[in-house]
Structures are given as C-alpha cells and as structure tokens.
Amino acid sequence: MKLKTLYEEVIKKGLKEDPRSKKTIEEGLKETKKEYSKAQGIDKKMFDPESLKHPYADTRILNTFEDEDIKTVMVGIDIDVSEILLADRLKEKGVNIDLVVSHHPSGKALANLHRVMAIQPGIWEKYGLSKEIAVGIMKDRIEQVARSVASSNHTKTADAAKLLGIPFICTHTPADNCVTSYLQKLLNRKKPKKLKNIVSILKTIPEYKKAMENNAGPFVLVGKDNADAGKIFVDMTGGTSGPDKMLARLSQAGVKTIVGMHCKESAYKLAGSEFINYVIAGHISSDNLGMNLLFDAIEKKSKLKFIECSGFRRIRRK
C-alpha cells in the first residue's frame, strides 16, 4: 500500500465514523473554502490545501518521500524524537520500518489542534442544543487551546524524522471518531441500566481488558455504581476536552451519563452539581481502540505488519 493511499483510507474512515451529520461536515468545509477564497498574498500561498478536502486538521503526513510502499508500520499513541530514534535504531538492527504512525498530533497537525474542536458543537446539536448556543459555548475553549499549543516546538519530531529519512504521519481525530462511534453504538444497543453495567460492558472490550493488566481499566469517576445511567453520551472526539459549562447544557438536554477517555479536574468538580455521572473508559486504552478500528478498515485494502510502541497494542477484529 502506498503512503498516500493509507492516508486517504484514514480520512475516509474518519469521515464515515464522524458523529456529526454529513450536512454539518459539508457546511464546515464550505466555510473553509470561503476563507481560502478571501485569502490574499502570502496567506493564500501558505493556506493548507488539505483543509479544503476534510475537517481533520490534526491528521497529516508530516514527513514523506515519493512512492513509499508501506508494508511495516511502527505505531505509537505518542511519537516523540525518542521513538523516531528508536525506529532508526531498529532499522540499524535490520528491522524493516516503512512508516512511523503517531496517534496524537505532531508538527503542523498539533499547531492546528484547535481547529478540529468545531466537531464538538456539531455533536451537541444532536443532543438538542441549538447551533448558536453550542458554538457560543465552545468559542472561548477553542481560543484557550489555540493559545496553549502556540508556544509548542511543533516541528521537533518531524524534523528528526526528516533528518533520519523516516516517513511519519499522525492520525488523531479519525481514530477518535472510530472509538466514539463504536462505543456509542454499543451502549445504545446494550442499554445499560446502571453505571456499573457500563463499566462491565467496557471491560469486555480487549483494549480495556489489556488496560486492566496495567491498573488503568474503566471506572466510575462521578456517581455511584448503582446509579441510573439514563441517557449516555460518549465524549471522545473533537481534539481535546471541551468547556466545563457544556455540562449544564447537556444535563438540561437530558444527558445523565458521560463516558469519556479522561476528565479535567475542573469538570470533575462540576459534574456532580450538574447531576451528570462520569465514567472513565481510559485514555490510552480508548486511543488504542480507535487506532485498531482505523487499522482494521485500512487492512481491508492491504495487510500490514505492526511494530508496537509507546502504548499501542494491535488488536484485530474479525
């Protein structure tokens, strides 16, 4: 499989599993195209053409060479310079590595992390929030995240990959879309009555079983084991954590339980007072599930050999 084809399959699967409506996705792309049409001079020249094709600004090819034939991939949840050096060391020892894949964004994809957060208001609309309210609630949080990533040394890892001649990509939101869609459909189908039932369902999933071996399994963060689950919202995509004030709106819209990868301390303190239960599935384990679902789709086109690192474990579904 060529790298370009692999990347296109990542985007294709991400769009298929996007929790928003197709109309909402298309409206977002139209806005980006309008932004491009209004850009002039250096701004137009430097405009990222990939953003005109899909909304996943945190998913990019970060280092590439022409016509790579991808057979073996080294995959990690986080890839830093240390993992790039590890890949180079393994290659020195005779291990074939055609591509390094990070789940979490790096390089220009990290710099644009805040741009994918527009996914979250689109999801909240499906739970009854108006578009105006949803977008308004998210505005400050998007600006906060943009400020927080602005000071990062974005190109550090990609620079190492270029110096060592190692193809490198990151696949963030498409994988997060996969785990969100998978768990939401599963819980909608199983209809767990109590919070402990949600945790029991999660523990049947191989990635969460594996996490339990490392004392990082699913658990109830806010609420009692025997509390009613009610309407469940799987909150695992959209770049990073949303604003705390969305908890009140979701509660008013009828959401009783959030199932998330993790929870900010400020949201943890607020959830109970907003009558929201919170179940933590696990961060790295949920990222593993999303990445595995993504690779399951890719491997329908071409089988790959995997070298696992940085918290990733390849688990295939039949």
65 pLDDT higher than 90: no
Q: What is the pLDDT of residues 176-201, one digit of tens each?
A: 999 999 999 999 999 999 999 999 99
H helices of 191-304, in order, are 195-202, 206-213, 246-252, 265-271, 283-298
Q: Among 2-11, 125-134, 140-149, which stretch is predicted with the lowest mean pLDDT? A: 125-134
| Residues making up the chain, counted from first to last | 318
β-bridge pairing 231-235 and 99-102? unpaired
116 pLDDT higher than 90: yes
What CATH architecture does domain 179-283 belong to?
Answer: 3-Layer(aba) Sandwich (3.40)
pLDDT at residue 67, as a whole number: 76
pLDDT at residue 313, as a whole number: 98
83 pLDDT higher than 80: yes
Q: What is the pLDDT of residues 249-270, one digit of tens each?
A: 999 999 999 999 999 999 999 9
Q: How far apart, in Å, are the Cα atoms of 59 and each of 49, 104, 158?
A: 13, 9, 13
pLDDT at residue 129, as a whole number: 87
pTM for the model stands at: 0.96
pLDDT at residue 280, as a whole number: 98
318 pLDDT higher than 80: no
pLDDT at residue 160, as a whole number: 98
User: Rounded distance, CA 231 to CA 296, Å?
Assistant: 29
Q: What contacts 193, CB < 8 A, 6 or more positions away?
A: 228, 229
Q: What is the mean pLDDT of the segment spanning 98-113?
A: 96
pLDDT at residue 66, as a whole number: 67
H helices of 18-150, in order, are 22-38, 41-45, 81-92, 107-111, 119-125, 131-150
Q: What is the mean pLDDT of the segment spanning 160-188?
A: 97
Looking at mean pLDDT, say which of 17-26, 145-154, 191-200 comes out highest: 191-200
User: Rounded distance, CA 97 to CA 70, Å?
Assistant: 9
Centroid of chain to Cα 139: 20
55 pLDDT higher than 80: yes
User: Domain limits of the chain?
Assistant: 3-172+287-308, 179-283
User: In the structure, what pLDDT confidence band is assigned to residue 131 with cuts at 50, 70 and 90?
Assistant: confident
pLDDT at residue 128, as a whole number: 84
